[in-house]
Structure 1
Amino acid sequence: MKLQKLFLTIIFTAITSLVFAQTSAELKRNKEAIQREIELLQRNLNETSSNKRLTLGQIRAVNAKIRLMQNKIAVINSEVKNLDNQIHENSNEVRTLKGQLGQLKKEYASMIRFAQRNQNAYEKMMFVFAADNFNQAYKRIKYLQQFGQYRKKQADYLQGTQKNIEYKIGVLDKNLREKSTLLTEQEHEKVKLSKNKSEQSVMLNQISRQEKQFKQDLAARKRKQADIDRAIRNAIQKEIELARRKAEEEERLANQKAIAEGRPVAAVKEKTNSSYLTASPEAAKLSAGFENNRGRLPWPVAQYSIVERFGAHTEGQASYNNDGINILTENGAAVKAVFEGKVLFVRELYGTYIVALIHGDYFTIYQNLKTVSVAKGDKVETKQTLGIVASKEDGPVLHFEIMRGQNKLNPEAWIAK
């Protein structure tokens, strides 16, 4: 029974350690990913800091870096909490095992004393022959055999418990060293965060002095983005119109055939833009596939950090809206399709290219490309290169959007975490 208990204890310990190990590994991977983003942002800030005039991109990069540093500190806090749980769990197990070991030693000592008193063959023989009958003598022989086996099992159990205690103490020492390292790392990150917040404060003061210039920059950005959005909307609307006309023509021909064959004409159903765009089996399959990959789409660039999120933003007293996300990447980074589909259009505006892909009734838009490697009407596969990102005064930043029909969607909800 005790051997079974030891076995269950070892299994429970192994499972608990595995669960903690998985959690620790996930936290470590998360922290490493955050650090890669921070390093990418810092490299870009080092390259763009030579600009005489502070840019919106630099402000966004610093804000993103501070957010990531805060996230990293939060991850370290989770790692420390995880280690505290492990230390508490292992400390309790060591106390329990030590209690079991003390009891086992007492029981084993009693068995040894009994064995010493009955160790010679004559005493064992007399113990058997003193039985009242043959059945009792047989039981006494079996008892002596089982006692020897039980003593051996107890010795193994005692040894196993001792080893388990030594192992757990070793794990505890390792946990304490890891916790000390993490706390030191956390203090270093807090110092860095404080330094970056000071840098942010200086930038905010500079914004106040350059308020007029920033308003002009934002106004110019809005005008450019409005032109780009208009081109995208027109292209999507044109695609919807083509799909509508095609569907109506197919419906007209089907009705003519029905009349010629004397069959009733199908009732006219009200259709939406989405139904026109997914009228063909191929388009419907693409649309369903895109939707089923929500939260799992690959990133359009290999190295990435979001420097501006989807939605409303305010810089100083000026406000604007971002219909996608701005992704900082590396110079010369390849921009890749996040899902298979067809090139809706390739357009050059304000010195850079825009590529729009159609995936049934979903669209993905890739802005700020220096060069492109696809043309209108091309079929593309997932992760196929569309072009190379352009690098301006804010660095190599890709503007990425996802739309369903004419509705803008938050790309962060669609790309992999």
Structure 2
Amino acid sequence: MKLQKLLFILFLSVLTLSAAAQTESQLRRKKEAIQREIEQLQKNLNKTASGKKLTIQQINTINAQIRLRQDKIGTINSEIKNLDNQISQNTNTVHTLQGQLGDLKKEYAGMIRFAQRNRNSYDKMMFIFAAKDFNQAYKRIKYLQQFSQYRKKQAGYIENTQQDLNGKIKVLDKTLREKSDLLKEQERERERLGKNKNEQAVVLNQLSKQEKQFKQDINSRKKQQAQIDAAIKAAIQRAIEAARRKAIEEARIAAAKAAAEAKAAADKARAENRPVPTAPTAPTAKAKSTSELLTATPEAARLSAGFENNRGRLPWPVATGTITERFGLHKVDLASYTNDGIDITTADGAAVRAVFAGKVAAVQVVMGRTVVLINHGEYFTVYQNLRSVNVSVGNSVDTKQTIGVVANTGDDAVLKFQIRRGQAALNPEAWISK
């Protein structure tokens, strides 16, 4: 029973450590990915640091660095918590093994004392011959044999338990060292976060000195983005109207077919001198919603359902990048503006990819920026700020298919990405993978 208990404890320990190792590996990969994003943003900042004029992109980059640094500290905290759980588990296992080892040694000592008292062959022979019959004598012989074998097994159990105990102590020491290293790394990241916040304070101070110029830049940006968004909405509306015209035409064809069938039935009845059947009343055409129009065909309905089912799992529109401006309202000092999507800062010359299968609904150049609109049934994805495009209106695209190359805005390659349901703008961060 004690052996079974020991094996059960070791089994649970192995399962716990296996799960912990998996979590530890995931956290390490996440931390490394965050660090790569921070380094890329720092390269972008170094390029723009010499410029005297402050830009929105610089502010966004510094803010993104601070956010990523905070995420990294949070990941380190999760690693430390994970190690604390491992330390607690290993400590409990060590104490259990020490207790089991003590019990095994006590039992083994008792067997040794018994063997010492009955160590000569004469005592064993007397023990056997003192049996009242042959059956009892046979059982006593088997008992002595089994006792000898059990003593050897018990010695093996003690040796194995001692090895397990030594192994767990080594793992515990290694985990404690890892925790110490993580605590040092956490402290370094806190210092770097402090430096980032100091940079932010310097930028905000610089912003107050360039307030007039900065407000002009924001107003110019708002005007430019308003024209682009208007063009996007117009393209979506054209797709909706095309679907509406198609639905009206299909209804007209269906009504004409029904009328022709009714006329043919009436002519046949007259020729056969039968009562002419009453023509069925044409159903009143019901106005369809935008959602119904955009998912009217089986293909469009399938695309729309597939897009919706992949919420939170859609691939990024670029292979690598960092979100430097988020969805919604943004305030910089006294100025404010709204972003209907997200800005992703990526590498120079990065390929832009479709996040889901669909059909290209528009390719336009507005205010010097190339925009691609892809229709996914009821949903649309918008890829703005492309330098070159290799798709045309009407082309079908697959998930992750390259549709163009991102352009540089100032000193950074920034893709502006939107997701819309009809005309309504949605937060892309809720749709793309984490």
Report the TM-score, using the length of structure 2 for normalisation: 0.93
Which of 337, 346, 349 does residue 332 from structure 1 map onto? 349
- Identity %, equivalent residues: 63
Q: Which moved more, 1:140-149 or 1:299-308?
A: 140-149
Contact 1:258 1:264 in 2 (8 A): no
1:264 deviates by 6.1
Greater CA drift, 163-172 or 250-259: 250-259
What is the aligned-residue RMSD (CA, Å)? 1.5
Matched, 1:283 2:300: yes
Letter in 2 for 1:396: A
Q: Tell me, which stretches of 5 or more residues in structure 2 are unaligned?
A: 263-279
Aligned 8 A contact 1:313 1:322 in 2: yes
Q: Which residue of 1 aligns with 2:312?
A: 295
Tell me the equivalent position of 2:182: 182
Q: For 1:82 and 1:314, locate their aligned partners in 2 and report how far apart those are by CA, in whole Å.
A: 38
CA deviations on 1:25-78 (whole Å, 9 max, x unpaired) are 111111111111101111111112222201110010001101110111111112
Residue aligning to 2:414: 397
Instruction: Please give the residue correspondences for 1:8-407 in structure 2 after superposition, counting only pairs within 5 Å.
Output: 8-262=8-262, 265-266=282-283, 268-407=285-424
* SS in structure 2 at match of 1:196: helix
Query: In 1, Cα distance between the equivalents of 2:96 and 2:10?
Result: 13
**Retained in 1: the 8 A contact 2:228–2:367?**
no
C-alpha distance in 2, partners of 1:7/1:100?
11
Tell me which structure has the larger Cα radius of gyration. 2
AA partner of residue 126 (structure 1): M
Higher mean C-alpha deviation, range 4-13 or range 304-313: 4-13
Deviation at 1:267, TM superposition (A): 5.6
Q: Which has the higher contact order (CA 8 A, sep 6+)?
A: 1
CA distance 1:153–1:317, shift in 2 (3 Å) = same
Q: Deviations over 1:312-348 (max 9, x none)?
A: 1100001111100000000111111111111111111
What letter corresponds to residue 106 of structure 2 in structure 1? Answer: K
- TM-score, normalised to structure 1's length? 0.97
Q: Which amino acid letter does the alignment assign opposite residue 259 of structure 1? A: A
- Which whole-Å CA distance do the structure 1 matches of 2:112 and 2:132 have between them? 27
Secondary structure class of the residue paired with 2:36? helix
Q: Aligned pair in 2 of structure 1 residues 336, 364: CA closer, same or farther (>3 Å)?
A: same
Residues 3 and 153 in structure 1, CA contact (< 8 A), matched pair in contact too: no
When structure 1 is superposed on structure 2, of 47-56 and 335-344 the one drifting more is 47-56
Paired with 1:120 and 1:251, the residues of 2 have a C-alpha distance of 109
Aligned-partner Cα distance in 2 for 1:27–1:333: 27
Residues 70 and 193, structure 1, Cα contact 8 Å, conserved in 2: yes
Equivalent pair of 2:38/2:65 in contact (CA under 8 Å): yes
Q: Return the alpha-carbon distance in structure 1 between the equivalents of residues 142 and 9 of structure 2.
A: 30
1:126 to partner: Cα distance: 2.1
Using the TM superposition, give the Cα deviation of residue 384 of structure 1 relative to its aligned residue in structure 2, in angstroms: 0.9
How far apart are residue 362 of structure 1 and its match? Answer: 0.5
How big is each residue's C-alpha offset from its partner over 1:267-295, in whole Å with a ceiling of 9 and x where there is no partner?
64442111111111111111111111111
Indicate the larger mover: 355-364 or 126-135.
Answer: 126-135
- Give a deviation string over 1:81-100, Cα, whole Å, max 9, x none: 22122112212221221122
Name the aligned partner's letter for residue 329 of structure 2: A
Task: Report the Cα distance in structure 2 between the residues aligned to 1:18 and 1:314, rounded to whole angstroms.
Answer: 46
